Amino acid sequence: MSIAKKIFKNSELFQQLEKLMNDADTSILEIYNSNNFGEESKGDDSPVTKADLAAHQLLVDGLQQLTPNIPIVSEEDPSSLTIPAEHSAYWLIDPLDGTKEFIKRNDEFTCNLALIESGASTLGFVSIPAKQELYYGGKELGSFKQHKQHEPTPIHHSSKKGATRVVASKSHLNAETQEFIAQLQGKIELIQAGSSLKFLKIATGEADLYPRLAPTCEWDTAAAHAILEGAGGKVLQADSLQPLVYAKENILNPYFIASAKG
């Protein structure tokens, strides 16, 4: 049995992981609702705020207590970026995806936690702090949406007749992606969204296709990737049409296309 399945079946542990995500959301919102983001630039010129760091520390501390035998890799901890061997399992964290959206105060940022096993993302948690929504799931588990303290409801992609609904980045819609979209056949409806919300829109049936022909890192995609697969979708490398994999020597993802099956 996969570690993801064991965690999913352990209701006490799973509830503690859900609470950990909720606590991370609270730490993010405390800063979001303040007038002091503490914005700085990292070495790659991408922004980081106090919210990124607060959620990172809270998640790392919590995971070390809940699952002490599972290593942790986080975007905000350069010392953790030596990826464990491919056959091992580890947590992969993006504590605040969509930092630019956070700074713009448009609510389209997420907190992301994924379990990687043998190069695959097998369990993902994605929260939308500003909406108090939590999504979770995996290919073997199904996927679910929970709003505040309400009971979770299953999610799955449902096809819609008419235009192909293509979701693209709000902050990173480049010429290569625009060219790909222009070459699609039939009527196209373009939907723009920030952060890992793009995967969630496919998982919930609000979009059909997400081409990403621009750089991303493994932590940007892993959690929402698992949720999309649990909802019946797929994420393929753009050049080979093989599944997007994790635990590579290079933390960068190849270009990819996320879609609903069929």
Give the orientation angle of helix 11-32 with respect to helix 50-66, to 10 degrees: 160
Known binding residue 75? Answer is: yes
Q: Is 99 labelled as part of a ligand binding site?
A: yes
Residue 98 assigned to a binding site:
yes
- What gap in Å lies between CA 209 and CA 212, rounded to an integer? 10
Give me the count of residues in the chain: 262
Separation of CA 229 from chain center: 12
Give the residue carrying structure tokens 């699609």. Answer: 184
Asked if residues 95 and 55 have their Cβ atoms less than 8 Å apart, the reply is: yes
How far is residue 62's CA from residue 24's CA, in Å, rounded to a whole number? 10
d(CA 39, CA 17): 28
Is the backbone of residue 137 left (phi > 0), alpha (psi -120 to 50) or beta?
left
C-alpha dist (Å) from residue 26 to 23, 107, 206, 245: 5, 14, 27, 31
Q: Residue 138's beta-bridge partner residues?
A: 142
Closest by alpha carbon to 120, among 103, 138, 107, 108?
138
94 marked among binding-site residues: yes
Q: How far apart are CA 199 and CA 168, in angstroms?
A: 10
Q: Would you call 57 helix, strand, or coil by DSSP?
A: helix
Q: Is 197 annotated as a binding residue?
A: no
Q: Which residues fall in the annotated binding site?
A: 75, 94, 96-99, 220
Q: Which residues fall in the annotated binding site for substrate?
A: 75, 96-99, 220
Q: Which residues fall in the annotated binding site for Mg(2+)?
A: 75, 94, 96-97, 220
